[in-house]
Structure 1
Amino acid sequence: MRPLGRAYQTASLGFLLYKLGTLAVNALAFPVLKASSPLPAAPTVSILVPARDEAGNLPHTLPRLLSQGASEVLVLDDASTDDTARIAAELCAGVPGARLLSGQPRPPGWHGKPWACMQLGQAATGEVLIFTDADVCWQPGTLNALLRRLEHSGADLLTVWPRQETRTWGERLLAPLVDDVLLSILPAPIIRLPFASMSAGNGQLMAFRRASYHKLGGHALVKGEVLEDVSFAAGLKARGGRVALCLGGDLMSVRMYRDYRGAVSGFAKSLHAVHGGSRAVMAGSWLWHFAVYTLPWLRGRWLLTGLGLLERLLVNLKTGRTRPADLLEVLLTPVTPLAALPVYLLGWRRTYRWKGRAYSRKDRP
């Protein structure tokens, strides 16, 4: 074997073994939300839902939120162009503490979601503020489990990754990558360290202690950020706060996208920011993943191919995605970099649109 080929194989093997080692640690150390009894002296809770064009999701998810027993449930209609406002108002009608808010025009310098969340945070009265996306599905008892976990962790922010629900093969090509990035890059004990650079956050579910949230200025801290969730967690850590992470387990799930095209558009929105605002890093990232996961399969290097499959399998086992179709998607691992190429190409553009709004990307030095 030539020196270049030997170096490539050694680097690929080392990368995969590192990720498998990290997965082994996280299999034991990464918390999973569990059903639990209510706290003896539970705090008041505000469940806060930013909603823009969510008419397809709210009939399925909002009734579950309303049945959790929170002090209040606030839904903010963020200038939707569909029936979001009507559906939310009808579902909230007659439920104590539940109401619909009309979003105000977005100020200059703000991205859509941080501004919607900022308005919700200002209107909320609970001691615990739980921001949850409109497509996240809560099971009965989820609120008790969240409060128990927040209390146990002693954190200022608890952020949760719901279980990925995928129904089409187009979704299965990309959506599970969220879990792989979370569980195979950094061991949970390292993420818990009080270093802002070792931060993770998921805007699908972020539960704050009210005092900590307002001490930071609310979502004004991340008003212009695409990755507002990760930035919020890092900003909180940088100011001495504590962040706790958790998987949703059987209590919380999300179907992020309905097909491959939707997944491409959704992931492309944040890909540039995920890579530190550098197009060079983006290009290197795609080439590296192609070299590690696809090239060995094309060239019949079965050790590397098998390790890549094992990585994906371990992620599925940890997140509880163990239905037959979920396990079969492990076989998609070698073609995932090819399926992700349109995401990178779309993420390369300097402008993009998300939910009808135009944004621009700025490269960082």
Structure 2
Amino acid sequence: MSILFKSIKFKNLILENRVIIAPMCQYSSENGELSYWHEQQWASYALSGAGLCIIEATAIQPEGRISYADLGIWNDTQCKMMQTLLSKIKKISPTPFAIQLAHAGRKASCDAPWGERNGQFTPDEKNGWQTIAPSAISFQPNGHPPISLSTIGIKKVISDFVAAAQRSVLAGFDLIELHAAHGYLLHQFLSPLSNQRTDEYGGSFENRIRLTLEIFKEIKKVVPKNYPIGVRISATDWVNGGWDLRSSIELSKILEQIGVAYIHVTSGGLHKDQKIDIHPEYQVPFANEIKKAINVPVIAVGLITHPEQAERILQAKQADAIGIARGILYDPRWSWHAAVKLNQTIAIAPQYFRFQPRGSNQIFKKYAS
């Protein structure tokens, strides 16, 4: 049997297959709230046949948004809107939905990718605000510098992550992923390139990972027992002297000890001088090395576009699940087509049964009740 279509367990959550819809920002919110775009997008995800959908990076503070158009879960109105939409989604599909909780740190206060500003707004510009970071070091050399977080500010970040996690459970999400990758706030604390603090949150490896661990532990206290909490990390900064694979392995080991559900392995995003060798499966070797060191599931991503690639990676035991992001946006039925290619069955909504490809083996089965 294809491993891609075998079930996998993240704590108490069982996935029907190992196709994971990885988070992709949609820049379609106002005041952090869901829009009609999200209703359509989430419904498409729900009907895709994927084993799990992780929605886009969702800010735990207004200042934590990448852009003014980012989704948020820092207030009860946002939570209620998500609860309402998820209740509708669950009526048409049993696909579990997860939320990625995030804070952009010094990479916040930006325009949408298609906006005219093409970059970061200053605090005195419309749609801009003052950013925060572990140290007052800008992402871009000519950027407006962030404010270095005080100890009180750090405690506020922790408490807001915890509150966002509580709202996530209340909204009906089946899993929480902490975003500690792509150069955003938690990653900024991890990397010595962006973290030049001299207090208990900077300097040594143990100090730089402190914030991520504290947030994880505090969230674990307020969610149900065995509720899955995963962590997404950038395995390397792709810059000499930065966060690297060895550090990622050590962090993953510690996260395993304190109960992480999985490690989601990506890379880069922290420093303008990164030199990324981009090619198909370019991030899979990082996932492979981390998988060798831990016993919790590892999700691999990075230009994995074809079902045969995904299956080969799993057969080689380089990862335990496959994250597809842009590929799912391009082809919302990627999982269906993967089942055809790999001669497997996949659970779909019965409304689609009549569209089984002629001449093919039976690939569709009804959702389990």
Q: TM-score, normalised by structure 2?
A: 0.30
